[in-house]
């Protein structure tokens, strides 16, 4: 194998670490080789495909033109001419990089404009932006709770919520997924054991496309005088009026303390945002560590995000098209005989069961010119492997029909569909 040849070549030129290895000592990084091999042997190794085109309904992936049903580019903004133009013009005026962390000399008027515009868009008191949704969680959670406190966290919350929660040092108490009754049970069981409490849930859960029962969770949290936070990464630009998010969807304005969002999904760019109570936003400018110790997103990112807010505020056309596409595609998939799970959003799981089948299905789709990811254990529970289809406003009617044709063919070929 190639590895053997390299090993041989190395031993001929007698690299010191390989001599040591021959003497029976292990090279200090060989544990990584072992770990990587074990990932490959057990099928958990991440093989990453390379794109050679902008994001859109079609992609060039590993040199092949394919229909794209993988991206979080819900509104087709990642390559929208208005965003590209705004980014280009801003670079002419402000250059590229922010030059320093926000609190030293890296806050540009564009960053502040974006924060103002996001607060208005979300109909909240204030907003603060971060480098990513991931770092927004890492900033917010440790700023709100510490060692003497508890976090009540939905069992399926995103990795960045889990990491932010661990970083805070607070006790993490998980409640059953999307289960207000269990949430309240957990609160009662923990009564008297903490100083402050924070309830955190994803708004839209990205594996199944289901919504958090935010109205019920907030109602319970209010009864126990607890802080509330929702991470609406997959809801921003998707749910609520004109894509204003899950708080808007449930008409909970003013009742959720913190809304975390991302500019990397429906907004088509990159960056994170925290919107909500003005006190909390002010506190994050003082205590959010990724805000204080890491530079902000660049000029073109910020300008492109502003153009995305403009588009969303001007018209609901893109959000409406996204939902029309999702409803059409999901209804047709069910009519073909596929199980699309419990989705309430444009995230469309196609339930297949075993991970081997899901992987084979994804490979066959790719051969037929459709790019959609297979998800299996441990990302989703054992026996609930699936293809996840991400709909977008960028898809045309003919894209959707072509995709349905490919799903039908592969479904029949692999015996998932009868007849
Ligand atoms: C994608 C996602 C994030 C991370 O957002 P980035 O801006 O890409 O870092 C955080 N939380 C949830 C729930 C997400 O789905």
Per residue in 117-140, pLDDT (tens digit) is 999 999 999 999 999 999 999 999
State the pLDDT at residue 371. Answer: 97
β-pairing, 373-375 with 227-231? unpaired
- Taking residues 48-77, report their average pLDDT: 96
280 contact partners, CB below 8 Å, separation of at least 6: 140, 144, 257, 258, 274
Of the residues 80, 158, 234, 395, which is catalytic? 234
pLDDT in tens, 351-403: 999 999 999 999 999 999 999 999 998 889 999 999 999 999 999 999 999 99
- Rounded to an integer, what is the distance from CA 331 to the centroid of its chain? 25
State the pLDDT at residue 215. Answer: 98
Cβ-count burial 126-154 (b if 16+ within 10 Å, e if not): bbbbbbbbbbbbbbbbbbbbeeebbbbbb
From atom 15 of ligand 1, which residue's Cα is the shortest distance away? 233
Best residue for ligand 1 mutational test, from 262, 266, 305, 379 (most atoms within 8 Å of Cβ): 262
What secondary structure does DSSP assign to 283-314, as a single string?
A: HHHHH-HHHHHSB---HHHHHHHHHHHHHHHH
Question: Could you give the percent of the chain with pLDDT greater than 90?
Answer: 90
What pTM does this model have?
A: 0.92
Nearest Cα to 73, choosing from 53, 97, 91? 53
From atom 1 of ligand 1, which residue's Cα is the shortest distance away? 233
Q: Quick one: tokens of 406?
A: 């490919």
Determine if the peptide bond prior to 190 is cis (ω within 30°).
Answer: no
Best residue for ligand 1 mutational test, from 211, 233, 258 (most atoms within 8 Å of Cβ): 233
State the pLDDT at residue 101. Answer: 94
Q: Quick one: tokens of 338?
A: 């596929």
359 touches ligand 1 (CB under 6 Å): no
State the pLDDT at residue 114. Answer: 98
Q: Ligand 1 centre from 179 Cα, in Å?
A: 22
CA distance 226 to 401: 47
233 touches ligand 1 (CB under 6 Å): yes
Q: How many CB atoms lie within 10 A of CB 24?
A: 6
Residue 185 banded pLDDT, cuts 50, 70, 90: very high
């Amino acid at each position: 194998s190639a590895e053997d040849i390299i090993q041989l070549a190395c031993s001929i030129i007698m690299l010191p670490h390989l001599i040591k290895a021959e003497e029976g000592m292990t090279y200090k990084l060989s544990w990584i080789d072992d770990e990587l091999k074990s990932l490959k042997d057990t099928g958990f190794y991440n093989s990453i495909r390379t794109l050679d085109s902008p994001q859109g309904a079609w992609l060039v992936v590993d040199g092949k033109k394919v229909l794209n049903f993988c991206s979080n580019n819900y509104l087709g903004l990642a390559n929208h001419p208005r965003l590209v133009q705004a980014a280009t013009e801003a670079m002419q005026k402000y250059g590229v990089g922010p030059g320093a962390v926000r609190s030293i000399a890296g806050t540009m008027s564009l960053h502040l404009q974006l924060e103002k515009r996001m607060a208005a868009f979300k109909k909240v008191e204030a907003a603060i932006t971060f480098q990513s949704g991931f770092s927004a969680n890492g900033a917010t959670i440790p700023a709100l709770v510490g060692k003497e406190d508890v976090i009540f966290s939905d069992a399926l919350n995103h990795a960045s919520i889990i990491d932010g929660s661990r970083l805070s040092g607070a006790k993490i108490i998980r409640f059953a997924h999307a289960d207000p009754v269990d949430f309240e049970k957990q609160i009662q069981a923990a009564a008297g054991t903490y100083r402050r409490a924070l309830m955190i849930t994803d708004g839209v859960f990205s594996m199944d496309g289901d919504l958090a029962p935010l109205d019920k969770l907030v109602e319970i949290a209010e009864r126990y005088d607890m802080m509330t936070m929702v991470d609406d990464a997959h809801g921003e630009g998707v749910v609520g009026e004109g894509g204003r998010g899950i708080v808007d969807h449930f008409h909970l304005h003013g009742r959720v303390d913190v809304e975390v969002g991302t500019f990397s999904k429906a907004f088509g760019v990159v960056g994170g945002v925290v919107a909500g109570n003005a006190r909390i936003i002010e506190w994050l400018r003082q205590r959010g560590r990724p805000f204080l110790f890491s530079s902000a997103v660049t000029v073109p990112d910020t300008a492109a995000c502003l153009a995305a807010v403009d588009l969303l505020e001007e018209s609901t056309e893109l959000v409406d098209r996204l939902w029309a596409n999702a409803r059409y595609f999901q209804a047709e998939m069910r009519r073909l005989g596929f199980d699309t799970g419990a989705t309430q959003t444009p995230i469309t799981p196609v339930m297949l069961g075993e991970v081997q089948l899901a992987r084979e299905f994804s490979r066959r789709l790719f051969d037929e010119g459709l790019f959609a990811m297979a998800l299996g254990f441990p990302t989703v529970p054992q026996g609930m492997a699936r293809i996840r289809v991400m709909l977008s406003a960028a898809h045309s009617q003919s894209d959707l029909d072509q995709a349905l044709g490919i799903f039908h063919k592969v479904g029949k070929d692999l015996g998932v569909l009868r007849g």
